[in-house]
Amino acid sequence: MLTRAVDAALRIGSARTQVVVGNLSGSVQRVLGTRNIQLVPNEHWQAGLSTSVVAALRAMDSAVGAAIFLQVDLPHVGTELLAALIALHRSTGALIVAPRVDGRRANPMLFDRALFPELLALHGDVGGRAVAEKYVAQTAWVDWSADILQDIDTPEDYAALRAAAE
């Protein structure tokens, strides 16, 4: 799943693809091989999701105008959705661009650089959703299919995903 997510990000041709790694950094590096990515260590991974967001932003080039935080446990998020988020941001300049499924916000979300200070202030086991909730009126939406909602959190989830693919 990690390689699928990283390869999707690389295919959109972004300036830099970062992979935030916690306690399994050696394994992640071996799996990703020679891909053109930046591994970003998160030494505080146990303190929650916010630490990965903060680590990514601190490692980011100052010229970056927006960031998409792509979770690797969303197996149906691919290049097409990522490209749609970027294109809508370029055409609207919205602070946030997010997929919407049946009227509900979904992941991954794109955050404009103007929101980086608020994202850097996150603490605990929260991600960009805490910031996104404040800026619903400044969010541009990409309507998408429900398959992007599938989240793989357990070995049983993964087994079901593999069985469905066969």
User: pLDDT, tens digit, for every residue of 35-87?
Assistant: 999 999 999 999 999 999 999 999 999 899 999 999 889 988 999 999 999 99
pLDDT attached to residue 14: 73
pLDDT attached to residue 158: 85
pLDDT attached to residue 141: 98
pTM (predicted TM-score) = 0.92
pLDDT attached to residue 121: 97
Q: What is the CATH topology of the domain spanning 2-165? A: Spore Coat Polysaccharide Biosynthesis Protein SpsA; Chain A (3.90.550)
Q: How confident is the model at residue 23 (pLDDT cuts 50, 70, 90)?
A: confident
The CA-to-CA distance between both ends of the chain, in Å, stands at 16
Q: How many helices (H) and strands (E) does the chain have?
A: 7, 7
